[in-house]
Amino acid sequence: KGEELIERLYYAIKKQLHHKETMAHYEKADFGLLLIYTDELELASRLEGMIQTLEGVFPNIKLKFRFGVCEVENASADVEELYNNAVLAREILGNDEQNIAFFDEAMSKQRIWERKVEDDMERALNNREFQVYLQPKFSTGEELLGGAEALVRWIHPTEGFVPPNKFIPIFEKNGFILKLDDFMLEEVAKQQAKWISEGWKVVPVSVNISRAHFTREDLAEHICGIVDKYQVPHDVIELELTESAFFDDKDTLLSTVKKLREAGFAVSMDDFGAGYSSLNSLKELSLDVLKIDADFFRGTDSLDRGMLIVTEVINLAKKLNMKIVAEGIENREQVDFLTEQECDLIQGYYYAKPMPLEEFEKNYKNV
Residue 135 found at the interface with ligand C2E (CB under 6 A): yes
Q: Which of residues 45-64 bind ligand C2E (CB under 6 A)?
A: none
- Separation between Cα atoms, residue 7 and residue 12, nearest integer Å: 9
Residue 285 found at the interface with ligand C2E (CB under 6 A): no
Partner in contact with 146, chosen from Ca ion, ligand C2E, none, beta carbon below 5 to 8 Å by kind:
none
Pick the closer one to ligand C2E by CB: 168 or 227.
Answer: 168
Residue 208 found at the interface with Ca ion (CB under 5 A): yes
| Residue of 237, 205, 212 whose CA lies nearest to 224 | 237
Pick the closer one to ligand C2E by CB: 90 or 213.
Answer: 213
Total site size for ligand C2E, rule CB under 6 A? 22
Strand 266-272 to strand 237-242: parallel, antiparallel, or no bridges (unpaired)? parallel
- Angle, alpha carbons 135-137-140 (nearest 5°): 155
Residue 186 found at the interface with ligand C2E (CB under 6 A): no
Residue 278 found at the interface with ligand C2E (CB under 6 A): no
Partner in contact with 70, chosen from ligand C2E, Ca ion, none, beta carbon below 5 to 8 Å by kind:
none
- Separation between Cα atoms, residue 315 and residue 239, nearest integer Å: 23
| Residue of 119, 114, 87, 115 whose CA lies nearest to 103 | 87
Q: Which of residues 242-281 bind Ca ion (CB under 5 A)?
A: 270-271
Pick the closer one to ligand C2E by CB: 135 or 278.
Answer: 135
Pick the closer one to Ca ion by CB: 206 or 341.
Answer: 206
Single out the residue of 118, 249, 330, 361 in contact with ligand C2E (rule: CB under 6 A): 330
| Selected range binding ligand C2E among 11-19, 60-68, 334-342, 345-353, rule: CB under 6 A | 345-353
Q: Under DSSP, is residue 32 helix (H, G, I), strand (E, B) or coil?
A: strand
CA dihedral 77, 82, 84, 89 (to 10 degrees): 140
Partner in contact with 344, chosen from ligand C2E, Ca ion, none, beta carbon below 5 to 8 Å by kind:
none
Cβ atoms within 10 A of the Cβ of 277, count?
A: 12
Strand 100-102 to strand 130-139: parallel, antiparallel, or no bridges (unpaired)? unpaired
Single out the residue of 86, 117, 124, 184 in contact with ligand C2E (rule: CB under 6 A): 184
| Selected range binding ligand C2E among 33-41, 258-266, 333-341, 348-356, rule: CB under 6 A | 348-356
The answer to whether 327 and 310 are in contact (CB under 8 A) is no
- Taking 3-state DSSP, the helix, strand and coil percentages for the chain, each rounded to the nearest 5, stand at 50, 20, 30
**For binding to Ca ion (CB under 5 A), which residues are involved?**
208, 240, 270-271
